[in-house]
Amino acid sequence: MANPIYLDHAATTPVRPEVLEAMLPYLSMTAFGNPSSAHRFGRTARAGLEQARREVAAALGTEPNQVIFTSGGTEADNHAVIGAALAARVRGGAMCAVVSAIEHKAILAAAHAVKHLGGEEIILPVNHAGRLELDALDEALMKRPAIVSVMWVNNEVGVVQPIPEIARRCADAKVPLHTDAVQAFGKIPFVLRDHPCALVTISGHKLGAPKGIGALIVRDRHIVEAMIHGGGQQFGIRPGTENVAGAVAFGRAATIAVQHLEAEAARLTTLRDRLAALILGSVPDIVVHGADAPRAPHVLSLGVPGADSETLLMHLDLADIAASGGSACSTGAVEPSHVLTAMGVPRDLALGSLRFSLGHETTAEEIDRVGVAFPGIVTKVRKLSTALGRA
């Protein structure tokens, strides 16, 4: 019996064996201490934490004192958007958050929270390929908002935003830019020193580290207010006893990802394109979302006419293939993805959309198995949809 195939790496990745090995001492008697303690147990933990901070900084191309460890991407996104809005209010500026329409729900919800706090949220449109409308950005920048947030790589369709150009325009307007780089870090090459991004979100479990560890890169501490209040850990920006084992794991995973980035990106691009070719060769009316824009190598988003994503996912799971859908259940009703809706994808096609996302253990043999199995699944689901429609 063939092994199950996991193609949902954009959701989470398995912990790399070498990452697990690196973090284990900090979960045992070897280095379990509180990094704020002055005794040898605390000093050992502190040394591991600071080494992890240096590793993450080196992988990103930034400074260690700019790395603020968090519980993950959602916390970092919220801190960036809401923290920047609160900081602007303290300075007497506009408490306004500008975000793109295809951001992760953590960003969209944070921008909405700014509105509830008495500020303003501005949602920027994207074109049919999922790229930000730069004219709309320029118009929003005229309001001198507290923060602009545009994700580097979209988590649903893999579209890469022109962050260097967006960062330049924000810098020229003297408006801080935050970018959610969760799906970009370790997947596409960039060096933060080359781009004037004020705040950057990254997450460990997309890179082979465990869930529950992420970071917010803060390049100017005046840009954000603290969201958690307590001790003085992490420069007072994010106080609380640090997740040392998680940080150590993140540092090791980040180092490995960047070391192998160029070769792995080329390999995953080849596998992603092979999967698309196999599927489209048998089911030519399937749509590749974001095909007209630059895309990260690990994400393939497909729209399947005449099918719904929930049924497709169920049949894929029965075939031992793990993927994710292009719609989400909201208040008991199935609604299309907000990303696909913002891109102008018709509702029926959006409701029949899937995301395959590849990782470092994905093999050519697995891609071929999915390429063979998927057309038959589409045929089965379409027949079922037709039968139910007639009923």
pLDDT of res. 389 = 67
β-bridge pairing 287-288 and 96-100: unpaired
Q: Smallest Cα–Cα separation from 178: which of 191, 188, 158, 192?
A: 192
Q: Identify the burial level of 386 via C-beta atoms within 10 angstroms of its C-beta, where 0-12 means exposed, 13-18 middle and 19 or more buried.
A: exposed
Gap between the Cα atoms of 383 and 153, Å rounded: 35
C-alpha angle with apex 126: 121 to 131, nearest 5 degrees?
125
Cβ atoms 330, 351 nearer than 8 A = no
In this prediction, residue 30 carries a pLDDT of: 86
Residue 359 to residue 13: CA distance in whole angstroms: 7
Q: What does the DSSP assignment read for 145-169?
A: -SEEE--SB-TTT-BBP-HHHHHHH
Task: Give the closest residue to 304 by CA, choosing from 325, 333, 332.
Answer: 325
Backbone phi, psi, residue 224, to 5°? -125, 145
CA dihedral 254, 259, 262, 267 (to 10 degrees): -80
DSSP H helices in the chain: 17-23, 40-60, 73-91, 105-116, 134-141, 163-172, 244-259, 261-282, 309-318, 338-342, 347-351, 364-390
How far, in Å, CA of 306 to CA of 299, rounded? 22
Of 188, 231, 181, 165, the C-alpha closest to 67 is 181
Structure tokens belonging to residue 367: 């891609």
> Token pair 């079922």 is at which residue?
384
* CA 81 and chain centroid, separation: 16
Instruction: State whether residue 390 is helix, strand or coil.
Output: helix
- pLDDT on residue 330: 44
Closest CA to 99 of 116, 111, 114, 113: 111
**What is the pLDDT, as a whole number, of residue 388?**
72
Q: Is the pTM of this model over 0.85?
A: yes
At 335 the pLDDT is: 85
Q: Which is the catalytic residue, given 96, 170, 197, 329? A: 329
Q: What is the pLDDT of residue 331?
A: 41
Residue 2: predicted pLDDT: 80
Residue 329 annotated to the active site = yes
Residues belonging to the chain:
391
> Do 205 and 183 contact (CB within 8 A), yes or no?
no
| pLDDT score at 387 | 75
Q: Cα separation of 89 and 320, whole Å?
A: 52
Q: What pLDDT is attached to residue 11?
A: 96
Residues 6+ apart with CB under 8 A from 36: 42, 46, 231, 233, 241
Q: Which two tokens stand for residue 150?
A: 């545009």
d(CA 36, CA 307): 55
Q: From first to last of the 391 residues of the chain, give the pLDDT tens digit.
A: 689 999 999 999 999 999 999 999 999 988 999 999 999 999 999 999 999 999 999 999 999 999 999 999 999 999 999 999 999 999 998 899 999 999 999 999 999 999 999 999 999 999 999 999 999 999 999 999 999 999 999 999 999 999 999 999 999 999 999 999 999 999 999 999 999 999 999 999 999 999 999 999 999 999 999 999 998 999 999 999 999 999 999 999 999 999 999 999 999 999 999 999 999 999 999 999 999 999 999 999 999 999 999 999 999 999 999 999 864 444 445 789 999 999 999 999 999 999 999 999 999 999 999 999 999 999 999 998 777 764 3
Question: For residue 222, what pLDDT is reported?
Answer: 92
Complete DSSP assignment for 230-275 = SS-GGGGTS-S---HHHHHHHHHHHHHHHHTHHHHHHHHHHHHHHH
Residue 235 has phi, psi (to 5 degrees) of 65, 20
Ordered structural domains, the chain, with CATH: 17-259 (3.40.640.10), 261-390 (3.90.1150.10)
CA of 137: how far to CAs of 35, 123, 367, 373, in Å?
42, 10, 39, 43
